[in-house]
Amino acid sequence: KKILYSGMQATGTLTLGNYLGALKNWVNLTDEYECIYGVMDLHSLTLRQVPAEFRKNARSLYALYVAAGLDPEKNCIYYQSHVSGHAELSWILGCFTYMGELNRMTQFKDKAAKHADNINAGLYTYPVLMAADILLYQADVVPVGVDQKQHLEITRDIAQRFNAIYGDVFTIPEAYIGKAGAKIMSLQEPEKKMSKSDENPNATIRLLDDKDTVIRKFKRAVTDSGSEIVYREDKPGISNLIDIYGCVTGKTREETEKEFDGKGYGDFKLAVGEAVAAELEPLQKRYGELMADKTYLDSMIKMNDEKAAYYSNKTLRKVQKKVGLTERI
Ligand code: ATP
Ligand code: MG
């Protein structure tokens, strides 16, 4: 089986964007691939975290993975910070990455603009750590949202550069971009993607939002001044809602337009809210059960840390040897 690697940062609670753009699609891939999913907590440190909250979020993210349908007995689901190989490989790969390449990363520019008071080196070298995450497990495919495509490109460049010098050390990963609903936009600024680090609570639907909250947020979603429910470039708000509705119900844009022909924004927003709440309900129930059973989650975490360490050490030892680091005795 081919190896598939992906992960999410443990910053805040997952959004509907993370779910429809990534997590939900991951579940469908678990039979076809050998799947490895990380809770990317080292990446989260690029923004300042409140320790107690951060720890809670990381635990919650693990449970959300499982609640969404990933299987910790079949897939490898683990914490990035529990496997030291990520940091070790990241250092080595950093020495094979050019500042010019990192300077071109749009996510860095966006985040630096947003967090002008904390433009730290970790934020800048984030793509190098991400390259290490993927290459450490010799991943063949990486399902990423459109927002992460540039980081996957740089991962491939680094791997190819390394292989050109040292021979075939790394598998060159391919992007796997899910067909449906690749990019969900903010409910308040529909020209921006929905992001779990967004501070405006009305901009995101959180996976643990209850039904009333979901419906209220959709009712408040920013739309244009028109009244037609049609998918069009000059209607980013409504277009985003049509996409979300489509992801959840399986309806095409045209089918949704027809369904709401002659109806107003209010009716449509309510329908989207109800459809999303219904989609989240079973996931939330399972999540509650998992969080209540400490022993089960703990045992899964322990077992998977070991699995991940095994895979990653194999690559790391090989890399260390290739670059000429002294062998351990
Ligand atoms: P942050 O603001 O902390 O960067 P994020 O919401 O962008 O949070 P990530 O942890 O960076 O989340 O990404 C997790 C996964 O979710 C990635 O595969 C990413 O491509 C996907 N993803 C993130 N936001 C969206 C979105 N709005 N639409 C679709 N997929 C998304
Ligand atoms: Mg992101």
The predicted structure's pLDDT at residue 179: 59
From 8, 11, 43, mutation site for ligand 1 pocket: most ligand atoms within 8 A of C-beta: 8
List the alpha helices (DSSP H) in the chain: 16-18, 24-27, 41-44, 51-68, 85-94, 99-103, 106-114, 121-136, 149-166, 211-219, 236-249, 253-259, 265-292, 294-323
Residue 124's CB is within 10 A of a number of other CB atoms, namely 17
Q: What is the C-alpha separation between 58 and 56, in angstroms, rounded?
A: 5
Is the sign of the CA dihedral 77, 79, 82, 87 positive or negative? positive
CA of 22 to the centre of ligand 1 (A): 8
Q: What is the C-alpha separation between 316 and 321, in angstroms, rounded?
A: 9
CA of 321 to the centre of ligand 1 (A): 35
User: Six-digit token pair at 5?
Assistant: 């690697």
CA of 266 to the centre of ligand 2 (A): 31
Question: Quick check: 23 and 283 in contact, CB under 8 A?
Answer: no
Quickly list DSSP for 128-188.
Answer: HHHHHHHHHTT-SEEE--GGGHHHHHHHHHHHHHHHHHHSS-S---EEE--SS---PBPSS
Ligand nearest to the CA of 146: 1
Ligand nearest to the CA of 145: 1
Question: For the whole model, what pTM was predicted?
Answer: 0.91
Q: What angle do CA 16, 154, 8 make, to 5 degrees?
A: 25
Boundaries of every domain in the chain? 3-177+294-323, 201-288
CATH entry 3.40.190.10 includes domain 3-177+294-323: no
Sheet holding 174-176, edge to edge: 76-79, 34-40, 3-9, 141-143, 174-176
ipTM given for this complex:
0.97
Task: Determine the length of the chain.
Answer: 329
The predicted structure's pLDDT at residue 182: 63
Asked if residue 125 belongs to a known ligand binding site, the reply is no
Residues with CB under 6 A from ligand 1: 8-9, 11, 15, 17-18, 21-22, 144-145, 147-148, 183-184, 193-197
Active site residue 24: no
- Give the rounded distance of the alpha carbon of 296 from its chain centre: 24
Which one of the listed residues 109, 179, 193, 318 is annotated catalytic? 193
CATH entry 1.20.910.10 includes domain 201-288: no
The predicted structure's pLDDT at residue 178: 63
Residue 307's CB is within 10 A of a number of other CB atoms, namely 16
User: Six-digit token pair at 150?
Assistant: 């540039």
Residue 32's CB is within 10 A of a number of other CB atoms, namely 11
Tens-level pLDDT at each residue, the chain (329 residues) = 999 999 999 988 899 999 998 899 899 899 999 999 999 999 999 999 999 999 999 999 999 999 999 999 999 999 999 999 999 999 999 999 999 999 999 999 999 998 999 999 999 999 999 999 999 999 999 987 777 899 999 999 999 999 999 999 999 999 987 655 468 999 999 999 999 889 899 999 999 999 999 999 999 999 988 999 999 999 999 999 999 999 999 999 999 999 999 999 999 999 999 999 999 999 999 999 999 999 999 999 999 999 999 999 999 999 999 999 998 88
